[in-house]
A and B are shown apart, each in its own frame.
Chain A
Amino acid sequence: MGVFALPSLGSDMDAGTLVEWLVSPGDTVHRGDAVAVIETQKGAIEIECFEDGTVQALLAETGKELPVGAPLAMILAPGESAADEEPEPISAVPEPTPAVPVAEPLPAPAAVSRGAAIEASPAARRRALDLGVDLAALTGSFPGGRIVLADVEAVATRTPTSVPAKPPSAMEEMRKAIGSAMSRSKRTIPHFYLSQSIDVQPAMDWLTAHNAGTPPADRILLGALFVRAAVRAATKVKVMNGHYGDQGFEPAKSVNAGVAVALRGGGLVAPALMDAERLGLRETMAGMRDLVSRARAGRLSNSEMTRGTITISSLGETGAEAMTGVIYPPQVALVCLGAPQVRPWVIGDGIVPRQVVTLTLCADHRVSDGRQAARYIAEFTAAITDPESI
């Protein structure tokens, strides 16, 4: 029997609010199953179970803010019997910080957990949290019963609530989280930067030709080629891929490619495409599509939020030509790509207009030097200028 505690939520997010249980006592769970939804400063995150077993008791109530490490549930290992001991959650974990509602195990929580996820948009979730509206009590007006912002506001205007004066908005919370992670990064990581302009005309021509005869579901974006090239370079220059922790740098065995996704209204998240070195271009594109849709819908998991080993931030297909970014700790490198620009380019003896992208590699000087950064850029360039090979 083990206490399942709230795992890390990402850099500098040390607490979150339990908004929903996705399992009930008696349910069988497997490693990687989502068991709860935690609202964080960066939106809702699904918390995954670490091991196989059976949920014996839920130890935390919905609506409560919990620090990382707070006990969430008692999980029996396969074959273990529930009969014996009364769970002693508190002794099993480090002393939680104040204001933690380490509750007695909840009674059979029919009302708390329904075993199925409540389908609600991120905006609706945030508003419901701000207004103290119970999502489970609402009927969604969106096709399929999904709860949208308007449903929450409709209830809120009917029901007088005792709303605290002015809770910080979700956006303020996200800015705070980004500010704190980025301040820590700038304070502790000695950044250095190398830049290179790269002719991406071959990549764009290849994409145009590929997409012309392809139904929308199978089309590929330049961003997927960038991620693929960045991942390939990371497998070759291993000092760019991993985490810097108490023991110094630990290179990662696989490449979990963080993909920076800008959120409408401001802020961003960088969920990871796990084991990206095993994915071909089509699978990389499919994985990115899935990450972006779930980032928009507020359905990312804690492992995607914490296990990235290198991040790729691309400004998209139109916009500024270069960006110098801030490394997302505990990672040690960030690959920034500006939007493609038409620029004069020398090919042979001639000057021709070409689509050019500026790559800036931001790296951690505790771990690598300019020579390795230059090698990374050379590997990236080789991959992107020969799109057939990706």
Chain B
Amino acid sequence: MTQDDIRTAFIEELTKIAPDIAAEDIGETDHIQDDLGLDSMDVLNLVTALHQRLGVDIPEPDYPRIATLSDAVPYLAAKGAGS
């Protein structure tokens, strides 16, 4: 899975959990909680969705590493997303 695929997956799962956010409005460095307004339940739903879709289990201490698109994509790639 390429970094572009991971980016697409991340954006799709994020906009499923937050249907009122448009994909094109998500900036590279937007923080999913501080800027996009996700709460802790939304973050857990995102982690769950990424686990199911990419096979990457993100432990709680690592939640900050998926807080922005620009952090999440390399993190998920390094964890072997989709492989």
Closest to A124 in B: B19
- The interface bits of chain B over 51-70 (1 if a CB of A lies within 8 angstroms of the residue's CB, else 0) are 11000011110000000000
B40 and A296 contact, CB distance less than 8 A? no
Q: Can you show 6 pairs from A to B with CB atoms below 8 A apart?
A: A148-B19, A223-B41, A264-B18, A264-B21, A264-B37, A292-B42
How far is the CB of B26 from the nearest CB of chain A, in Å?
A: 13
Given contacts A216-B51, A217-B48, A316-B40, contact A123 B19 (CB under 8 A): yes
Q: Is A333 an interface residue (CB 8 A)?
A: no
**Residues of B participating in the A interface, judged by any CB pair closer than 8 Å:** 12, 15, 17-22, 36-37, 39-42, 44-45, 47-48, 51-52, 57-60
A219 partner residues in chain B, CB cutoff 8 A: 44, 47-48, 60
A221 and B41 contact, CB distance less than 8 A? yes
B60 and A211 contact, CB distance less than 8 A? yes
**Residues of A participating in the B interface, judged by any CB pair closer than 8 Å:** 121-123, 142-143, 148-150, 208, 211-212, 215-217, 219, 221-223, 262, 264-265, 288-289, 292-293, 296-297, 316-317
Q: Determine the distance from Cα of A317 to Cα of B47 in the docked complex, in whole angstroms.
A: 17
A217 and B51 contact, CB distance less than 8 A? yes
How far is the CB of A195 from the nearest CB of chain B, in Å?
A: 23
Q: Determine the distance from Cα of A297 to Cα of B17 in the docked complex, in whole angstroms.
A: 8
Given contacts A211-B60, A216-B58, contact A223 B22 (CB under 8 A): no
A317 and B40 contact, CB distance less than 8 A? yes
B22 and A262 contact, CB distance less than 8 A? no
Q: Determine the distance from Cα of A317 to Cα of B38 in the docked complex, in whole angstroms.
A: 12
A216 partner residues in chain B, CB cutoff 8 A: 44, 47-48, 51, 57-58
A293 and B60 contact, CB distance less than 8 A? no
A296 and B20 contact, CB distance less than 8 A? yes
B44 and A121 contact, CB distance less than 8 A? no
B41 and A288 contact, CB distance less than 8 A? yes
Q: Determine the distance from Cα of A189 to Cα of B39 in the docked complex, in whole angstroms.
A: 30
B58 and A262 contact, CB distance less than 8 A? no
